[in-house]
Amino acid sequence: MADVERQSTLAMKRDAANKRKRPRYGAKREAILKAAGLVLEKNGFAGTTIEAIAREAGLDRATVYYYFSDKGAIFRAAIHDGLTDMVKSLEEVAGSDEQPEARLRSSIRAVMRSFERYYPTLYIYLRSGDSATVIDDDLNQELIDSGRRYEDLVERVVRYGVTEGVFNTSLPPKVFAKSVTGMLNWTSHWFVPGGMLTADDVADGMADMVLSGVLPR
């Protein structure tokens, strides 16, 4: 009973702090999410502990538990935050007044920047998919919806370029878009922030390659 009451009290404190949107609260929460991703990448979900996450974040266990009920909640929050941020950025690009080629480049940048900011959690999800044990039915449906939205927004940018006569391709817009998102998703197997290439370097290289094949010569 005492454990239940303790968890309930912590949950209420988390909710209250989150609603106040205190900058310090948000900064610590993000530090925990970042640390958890690094530990998960190294140890796998089964080998990840709250103690290891706290140590990586430079915090104590009690502080981590103040923000999250368990390691599964941390992973779910990180995936949710990353996909939400990515889709929001893509929506802004798709609704902008940029020219087609600039919109496509900005879309690719938006995805790579989200992969970099939420590294390695989004990559861990992409590699494991819905087989990850921490993904429940509600989150799985959210991920499916976000994945569709991600592809739909890239397709919208591609379709705009085709309609405007800027992109010349024999592929239907949906297939073209899937080619782009597939290339982006494959970076989960090799891109590591802090290396020789930044997210923008990778994005611009990809955009150059894609655009060189569809823009008039």
What domains appear along the chain, each with residue ranges and CATH number? Answer: 2-69 (1.10.10.60), 72-212 (1.10.357.10)
Q: Model's pTM, two decimal places?
A: 0.83
Task: Compute the distance between CA of residue 200 and CA of residue 95 in angstroms, rounded to an integer.
Answer: 21
Mark residue 194 as left, alpha or beta (left: phi above 0; alpha: psi -120 to 50; beta: remaining): left
**Mean of per-residue pLDDT scores for the chain:** 88
pLDDT digits (tens, 9 = 90+) for 36-45: 999 988 988 8
Both tokens of residue 121? 């959690």
Task: Report pLDDT for 214.
Answer: 95
Tokens encoding 86: 């990515």
**What is residue 17's three-state secondary structure?**
helix
Average pLDDT over residues 123-138: 70
The pair of three-digit structure tokens given for residue 83, joined into one six-digit string: 């996909």
d(CA 46, CA 40): 9
Whole-number pLDDT of residue 3: 52
pLDDT at 15 over 70: no
User: Mean of the pLDDT values across residues 161-182?
Assistant: 96
Q: How far apart are CA 30 and CA 93, in angstroms?
A: 25
Residue-wise pLDDT tens digits, 51-105: 999 999 999 999 999 999 999 899 889 988 999 999 999 999 999 999 999 999 9
What pLDDT, on a 0 to 100 scale, did the predictor assign at position 192?
A: 95
Q: Which amino acid is at 128?
A: S
CA dihedral 87, 88, 94, 95 (to 10 degrees): 150
**Percent of the chain at pLDDT above 90?**
67
What's the pLDDT at 58?
96
Say if residue 6's pLDDT is above 70: no
